[in-house]
């Protein structure tokens, strides 16, 4: 029985990537140890169980998750709206039956083949219908995605490659106070992207600490189950955006390419590269992608006194060139520091959310003092003030 299971696993074609997983590789070694010494069997059993327990104590659940996250030829064709050939379709069905059977391997059945009376840990099993679970994932591929995009929702670009962020900022829209009008503009544009409607590239600009970056991250966190993903792009990676668009353009999910805290000098190469990308003169932006950027400056360019030297025509052309980049964004949303009334309103909302019990007049007085000692009023300062009060509880 064990040898037959090994042969079936080795015969996988559609799900061949799974054989490279440490747990599955160790399972094959364990099942291949049937005719080896007791010591070798114990070592193989323990090696497999150790690698499994790092992921899940339920072997069936682990294997199902691996299957659902696998990036294979079948799901790529489905995701790209391509025809799936009959032989691939048949292979998929047969391999899901094999993997379902493997998922039901019980620890006691393996231990019965080992001549050992000492303790060996058990793993858990459940009866999953792999085919129906997989077809459910296919039916909802625009929400779940496939491969690493089904497991993670935040990524970063590195040398043209897309790397998952395993522990992203967990902020949600309910954590953000104030700026309802500004946030709604960004959210409405994002829901248009999710719903396959025309969506603009967005520039969020204004004072530091007002929640520009947090707004983008919170929207992605709240809407990740609707197929929204975020890819962080550094300034140095802007040159790779066309390549990243090629990778993501045929993916069934929706992507925000996020460039945070963006600023240029007029002679930066990235200035022209981003401008060309935004205007689509060279690269056509796929409909499932939008570019969101944040900046403390509306025009994102650090203008120097030398930019204003020369005749009126030269100065006019320079200023026009500087402003031309921001004009390429279809939606520009401003975030400015709150006045005293709005700042205290944000503080009081946060205090209520985090159960800070303090008389209102005292809370306002302490918040103002805290803001004066820091860099002035902003949502970031309000949050730091609440965190300060929490440490005094």
DSSP labels, 251-317: SSSEEEEEE-S--B-TT-HHHHHHHHHHHTSSSPPPTTEEEEEEESSSS-B---GGGG-S-HHHHHH
Banded pLDDT at 270 (limits 50, 70, 90): confident
Exposure of 181 by Cβ count < 10 A (0-12 exposed, 13-18 middle, 19+ buried)?
exposed
Residues 241 and 370 grouped into a single domain: no
pLDDT exceeds cutoff 90 at 103 = yes
Give residue 392's pLDDT band: very low, low, confident or very high (50, 70, 90): confident
| Residue 112 sits in the same domain as residue 253 | no
State yes or no: pLDDT of 322 exceeds 70: no
**pLDDT at 305 > cutoff 50:** no
The domain in which residue 198 lies consists of 151-335
Q: Are strands 228-232 and 254-259 parallel, antiparallel or unpaired?
A: parallel
Average pLDDT rounded to a whole number, residues 331-350: 94
Q: Is the pLDDT of residue 321 over 90?
A: no
Residue with token string 């918040």: 367
Spatial contact of 205 and 294, defined as CB atoms under 8 Å apart: yes
287, 309, 335: which is the final residue of a domain?
A: 335
Strand order through the sheet with 228-232? 161-164, 154-158, 228-232, 254-259, 289-295, 202-206, 331-335
Q: Residues 331, 376: one domain?
A: no
Q: Is residue 162 part of a domain?
A: yes
**303 pLDDT more than 60:** no
Q: Which among 320, 335, 350 is the end of a domain? A: 335
Residues 188 and 325 in one domain: yes
In this structure, what token pair is assigned to residue 283?
Answer: 């690269």
CB atoms closer than 10 angstroms to residue 333: 22
Report the pLDDT value the prediction gives residue 286, as an integer from 0 to 100: 94
Q: What percent of the chain has pLDDT over 90?
A: 80
Which residue from 54, 52, 45 is spatially nearest to 110, judged by alpha carbons?
45
pTM of the model: 0.84
Residues 214 and 314 both lie in one domain: yes
**Pairwise CA distance, residues 62 & 259, whole Å:** 35
Cα dihedral 192, 195, 201, 206, rounded to 10, equals 50
The strand pairing partners of 124, in sequence order, are 58
Question: Could you tell me if 166 and 293 lie in one domain?
Answer: yes
Each residue's pLDDT tens digit, 373-391: 988 999 999 999 999 999 8
249 and 165 inside one domain: yes
What local confidence, expressed as pLDDT, does residue 309 receive? Answer: 53
**225 shares a domain with 270:** yes
Nearest to 97 by CA among 67, 73, 57, 65: 67
Residue 300: strand pairing partners: none
Asked if residue 300 has pLDDT above 80, the reply is no
Indicate the number of domains in the chain.
Answer: 3
Other Cβ atoms within 10 Å of 248 Cβ, number: 20
Residue 146 lies in a domain: no
User: Mean pLDDT, to the nearest integer, of 104-122?
Assistant: 96
Residues 156 and 26 in one domain: no
pLDDT band at 15, cuts 50/70/90?
A: very high
Q: What is the per-residue pLDDT for 219?
A: 98
Both tokens of 231, joined, read 């890819």
Could you tell me if 198 and 284 lie in one domain?
yes
**Model confidence at 266: pLDDT above 80:** no
Mean pLDDT in residue range 263-284:
79
């Amino acid at each position: 029985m064990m040898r037959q299971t090994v042969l079936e696993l080795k015969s996988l074609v559609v799900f061949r990537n799974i054989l490279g997983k440490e747990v599955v590789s160790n399972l094959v070694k364990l099942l291949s140890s049937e005719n080896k010494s007791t010591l070798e069997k114990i070592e193989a059993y323990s090696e497999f169980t150790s690698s499994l327990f790092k992921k899940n104590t339920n072997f069936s659940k682990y294997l199902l998750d691996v299957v659902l996250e696998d990036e294979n030829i079948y799901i790529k064709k489905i995701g790209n709206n391509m025809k799936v050939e009959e032989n691939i379709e048949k292979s998929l069905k047969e391999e899901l039956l094999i993997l379902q059977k493997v998922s039901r391997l019980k620890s006691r059945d393996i231990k019965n083949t080992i001549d050992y009376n000492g303790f060996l840990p058990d793993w858990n099993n459940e009866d999953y219908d792999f085919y129906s679970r997989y077809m459910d994932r296919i039916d909802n591929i625009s929400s779940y995605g496939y491969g690493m995009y089904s497991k993670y929702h935040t990524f970063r670009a590195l040398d043209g490659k897309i790397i998952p962020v395993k522990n992203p900022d967990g902020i949600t829209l309910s954590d953000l106070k104030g700026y309802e009008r500004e946030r709604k503009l960004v959210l409405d544009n994002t829901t248009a992207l999710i719903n396959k409607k025309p969506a603009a590239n967005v520039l969020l600009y204004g004072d530091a600490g007002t929640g520009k970056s947090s707004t983008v991250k919170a929207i992605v966190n709240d809407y990740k189950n609707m197929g929204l993903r975020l890819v962080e792009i550094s300034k140095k990676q802007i040159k790779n955006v066309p390549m990243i668009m090629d990778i993501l353009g045929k993916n069934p999910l929706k992507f925000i390419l996020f460039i945070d805290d963006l600023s240029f000098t007029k002679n930066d190469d990235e200035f022209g590269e981003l401008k060309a990308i935004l205007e689509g003169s060279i690269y056509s932006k796929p409909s499932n992608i939008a570019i969101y950027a944040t900046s403390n400056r509306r025009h994102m360019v650090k203008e120097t006194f030398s930019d204003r030297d020369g005749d009126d025509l030269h100065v006019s052309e320079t200023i026009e060139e500087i402003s031309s980049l921001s004009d390429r964004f279809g939606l520009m949303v401003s975030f400015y520091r709150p006045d005293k009334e709005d700042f205290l309103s944000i503080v009081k909302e946060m205090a209520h959310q985090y159960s800070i019990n303090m008389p209102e007049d005292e809370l306002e007085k302490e918040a103002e003092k805290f803001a004066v000692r820091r860099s002035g009023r902003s949502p970031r300062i309000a949050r730091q003030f609440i965190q300060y009060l929490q440490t005094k509880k």
